[in-house]
């Protein structure tokens, strides 16, 4: 049996580690698709000190023989969110310029205390695939939000802050790495 593994590299995990102790108020992106409780974007960007952004994105593919879907999450640092312009505003301060989309996070100013990378695995007769399927962020005090691969041909990531949705993802996707 041929097995395929698509997990975050150590450098990406270290980038996530840099969020510990920092509050995250907004997730920025070039566009959002909102359908009820589903909020999907091609990528989400988290502001970092120094005017940089932690960018989380996802793409998908199929295994060669049985076409089992898999997703590849990427985490990187960039000078701007993909597809969003950053530059001086009318007041001269550098910031994100319109148009852009944002998800505003409600957590009372608490800092990120934990990041959990969740893994999914599927096995068939001839092939198996294992990939990081979600990243769970937890604030001091327990509030959480999750970025999960969007199981669609359009790819991208789904945001949720729903404890019910988060619990369902955690049941099917055990923790692979916990950063505390």
Is-contact 149 41, C-beta < 8 A?
no
Non-local (6+) Cβ contacts of 83 within 8 A are: 29, 30, 31, 42
Per-residue confidence in pLDDT tens, the chain, 180 aa? 899 999 999 999 999 999 999 999 999 999 999 877 779 999 999 999 888 999 999 999 999 999 999 999 999 999 989 988 787 777 777 777 777 888 988 887 899 999 999 999 999 999 999 999 999 999 999 999 999 999 887 889 999 999 999 999 999 999 999 999
- What separation, in Å, do the N-terminal and C-terminal C-alpha atoms of the chain show? 35
Is-contact 56 147, C-beta < 8 A?
yes
Specify the residue for token string 């270290």: 14
**Which pLDDT score is estimated for 175?**
98
Question: Up-side HSE of residue 14: CA atoms within 13 Å toward CB?
Answer: 3
Give the per-residue SS3 of the chain. CEEEEECCCHHHHHHHHCCCCCCCCEEEECCCEEECCEEEECEEEEECHHHCEEEEEEEEEECCCCCCEEEEEEEEEECCCCCCCEEECCCCCEEECCCCEEEECCCCCCCEEEEEEEEEEEECCCEEEEEEEEEEEEECCCCEEEEEECCCCCCCEEEECCHHHHHHHHHHCCEEEEEC
Q: Locate 59 and state its tokens.
A: 């793409």
């Amino acid at each position: 049996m041929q097995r395929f593994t698509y997990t975050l590299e150590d450098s990406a995990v270290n980038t996530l580690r840099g969020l510990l102790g920092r509050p995250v108020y907004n997730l920025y992106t070039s566009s959002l698709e909102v359908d009820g409780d589903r909020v999907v974007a091609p990528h989400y960007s988290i502001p970092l000190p120094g005017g940089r952004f932690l960018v989380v994105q996802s793409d998908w593919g199929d295994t060669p023989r049985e076409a089992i879907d898999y997703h590849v999450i990427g985490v990187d640092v960039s000078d701007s969110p993909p597809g969003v312009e950053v530059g001086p505003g009318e007041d001269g301060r550098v910031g994100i310029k319109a148009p852009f989309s944002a998800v505003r996070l409600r957590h009372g100013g608490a800092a990120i205390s934990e990041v959990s990378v969740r893994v999914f695995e599927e096995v068939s007769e001839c092939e198996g695939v294992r990939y990081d399927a979600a990243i769970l962020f937890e604030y001091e005090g327990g509030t959480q939000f999750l970025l999960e691969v969007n199981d669609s041909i359009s790819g991208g990531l789904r945001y949720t802050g729903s404890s019910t949705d988060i619990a369902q993802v955690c049941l099917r996707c055990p923790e692979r790495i916990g950063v505390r």
